[in-house]
Structure 1
Amino acid sequence: MFSGSIPALVTPFRDGVFDERAFRRLVDWQIANGSAALVPCGTTGENSTLSNAEHHRVIEVCIEQAAGRVPVIAGCGSNDTMNAMLHMTFSKKCGAAAALLVAPYYNRPSQAGLLAHFSYLAEHVDLPIVLYNVPARTVTDIQPETVIELARRFPGKIIGIKDASGDLSRVTDHRMGIGADFCQLSGDDELALPFNAAGGVGCISVTANVAPQLCAEFQAACAANDLQKARELNDRLYPLHYAMFEDASPGPVKYALSRVLEGMTDELRLPLVACNQTARQAVDAALVHAGVL
């Protein structure tokens, strides 16, 4: 259902308020440079610092500005099942193509709890679900057996996964346990090349915020099995992938965007603060290496 380069969009702020004008410019720039879909209100979008009203407005603006040119996968995750359902219901009404649902964080549910959480949402809201597994942030790890069981219970409803577990063997686990139609998207830019080689079809990317055209070209090379070109593009992007996490994310990516896209600021919401000087130097060097600056 989804493939290619899919940016996990930042949420621009100006003087503490969601900057709709800058966000609309970002959406247009992403689409013009080949991004295949858009993800508002993910981790990179600082969703944990948004009120529900702000969260919904970001999704609404993204869908409105995309205007059907590319699909929007709305970030709907929460550690509260009912709040996740609220986000999904709103996103469905706005025209989202799917919901991105992170494993509930802080609560530390068991695998049985994860099955119950995602099953409840699949049963109560008619919106395709892309699971999001990022145990480094959530502590909870959606095990392959749980992913396979969810896909078996809800064919055509739980349609894919953004996998940021760092375990490349899971691509094969999921493919062999579910089938090739299950949409596997890398959640780690630096692993996108081997992830795709194992059966992935794209990446929900931080780096694509800053280098959308290069990321789109890289994914297209992977899809065409042009390994030489994919390697060359990956080498250009590789330092940038790591620079995006030189300090607490999304500090570095917001700084990078302030360097490459007019009207963007590096403003974040507490408890996050602007990235440090070491990170800025790493970002600047990586932007030059990639040919973005």
Structure 2
Amino acid sequence: MFSGSIPALVTPFRDGAFDEPAFRRLVDWQIDNGSTALVPVGTTGESATLDNDEHHDVIKVCIEQAAGRVPVIPGCGSNDTRTALWHMNVAKELGADAALLVAPYYNRPSQAGLIAHFSYLAENCDLPIILYNVPGRTVTDMLPETVVTLARRHPGRIVGIKDASGDLQRIVQHRTGAGEGFCQLSGDDPLALGGYAFGQVGCISVTANVAPRQCADFHSACLAGDYDRARELNEKLFPLHKALFADASPSPTKYALSRLHDWITADTRLPIAPCSDAAREAVDAALAGLGLV
């Protein structure tokens, strides 16, 4: 259903507000440079600092600007099941192609709670669901048997996963349990190359915000089975993968974008502070290494 280089888009701010013109330019730039789908209002989009009106406005603008050229998969997750359903229903009305739903954070549901949460969403909205497992942020780890149960219980509704657990063996567990048609996407740019060997088909990427063409070329090589070319590209991108997490995300990513384009600022919202001098140095070196500055 989805594959290749899928940026988890930043949400540009200017003077404290959502910068719609910059976001529209970002969407166009991503599509023009080979991104195969777009994920607005995810973690990298600072969804945790957006109010609900802003959250829905970013989704609306992304879908409008993409204009059907690539799929749009908005972040709709919440630690409240009713709120997640509301985001899904709004996204569906606006024309989204699927919803990315993070495991509920902070309240630490059990595996039974995760199954009940995602089942409720699948049964009450027919927008396809991409599960998002990122235990380093949510504390809750969606175990492979839970993922398989959900995929089998809700075929056509729960259609894939963005996995950022760092555990590549889970790809095999998902594949053998949920079937080859279950869409597996990496949530870790540095692990994407290895993930392809196990059965992933793309990455919901932070780095693609900054280097969309290079990321698109890397994923195209992987999908074509050209692993010599993929390794070459991966090694060029690797310093940028690391630099974009040299400080709290997405501040290094926004700094990098501000270095590349005069139409976007490095502004983040508290509690995300501007990135440190050390992070800026790492980003600058990585951008130079790729020939982007």
TM-score scaled by length of structure 1: 0.99
**Alpha-carbon offset, residue 261 of structure 1:** 2.3
Query: Counterpart of 1:165?
Result: 165
**Residues in 1 aligned to 2:277 and 2:230: alpha-carbon distance in whole angstroms:** 31
Gaps of 5+ in 2: none
Query: Counterpart of 1:10?
Result: 10
Secondary structure of residue in 1 paired with 2:74? strand
Query: Counterpart of 1:88?
Result: 88
Secondary structure of residue in 1 paired with 2:137? helix
**Alpha-carbon offset, residue 43 of structure 1:** 0.1
Aligned identity (percent) is 71
Query: Counterpart of 2:68?
Result: 68
Deviation by residue 1:55-109 (Cα, 9 ceiling, x = unmatched): 0000000000000000000100100100001100000001100000000000000
**Residues in 2 aligned to 1:37 and 1:291: alpha-carbon distance in whole angstroms:** 25
The question of 1:220 aligning with 2:217 is answered no
**Residues in 1 aligned to 2:98 and 2:74: alpha-carbon distance in whole angstroms:** 6
**Residues in 2 aligned to 1:291 and 1:172: alpha-carbon distance in whole angstroms:** 36
Query: Counterpart of 2:132?
Result: 132
Query: Counterpart of 1:207?
Result: 207
**Residues in 2 aligned to 1:120 and 1:275: alpha-carbon distance in whole angstroms:** 39
Gaps of 5+ in 1: none
Partner AA of 1:2 in structure 2 = F
How many residue pairs align between the two structures? 293
Partner AA of 1:257 in structure 2 = L
**Residues in 2 aligned to 1:179 and 1:114: alpha-carbon distance in whole angstroms:** 20
**Residues in 1 aligned to 2:251 and 2:133: alpha-carbon distance in whole angstroms:** 22
Deviation by residue 1:105-144 (Cα, 9 ceiling, x = unmatched): 0000000000000000000011000000000000000000
**Residues in 1 aligned to 2:292 and 2:40: alpha-carbon distance in whole angstroms:** 23
Partner AA of 2:272 in structure 1 = L
Secondary structure of residue in 2 paired with 1:10? coil
**Residues in 2 aligned to 1:208 and 1:105: alpha-carbon distance in whole angstroms:** 25
**Alpha-carbon offset, residue 291 of structure 1:** 2.1
**Residues in 2 aligned to 1:240 and 1:173: alpha-carbon distance in whole angstroms:** 30
**Alpha-carbon offset, residue 25 of structure 1:** 0.2
Partner AA of 1:126 in structure 2 = D
Secondary structure of residue in 1 paired with 2:141? coil
**Residues in 2 aligned to 1:273 and 1:149: alpha-carbon distance in whole angstroms:** 39
Deviation by residue 1:7-30 (Cα, 9 ceiling, x = unmatched): 000000000000000000000000
Secondary structure of residue in 2 paired with 1:149? helix
Partner AA of 1:70 in structure 2 = V
Query: Counterpart of 1:143?
Result: 143
Partner AA of 2:52 in structure 1 = N
Query: Counterpart of 2:190?
Result: 190
Of 173-182 and 23-32, deviating more is: 173-182
Query: Counterpart of 2:240?
Result: 240
Deviation by residue 1:247-289 (Cα, 9 ceiling, x = unmatched): 0000000000001123110100011111000000000001111
**Residues in 1 aligned to 2:140 and 2:185: alpha-carbon distance in whole angstroms:** 19
Query: Counterpart of 1:28?
Result: 28
**Residues in 1 aligned to 2:190 and 2:39: alpha-carbon distance in whole angstroms:** 19
Partner AA of 1:45 in structure 2 = G
**Alpha-carbon offset, residue 181 of structure 1:** 0.7
Counterparts of 1:22-61 in structure 2, within 5 Å, are: 22-61=22-61
Query: Counterpart of 1:276?
Result: 276
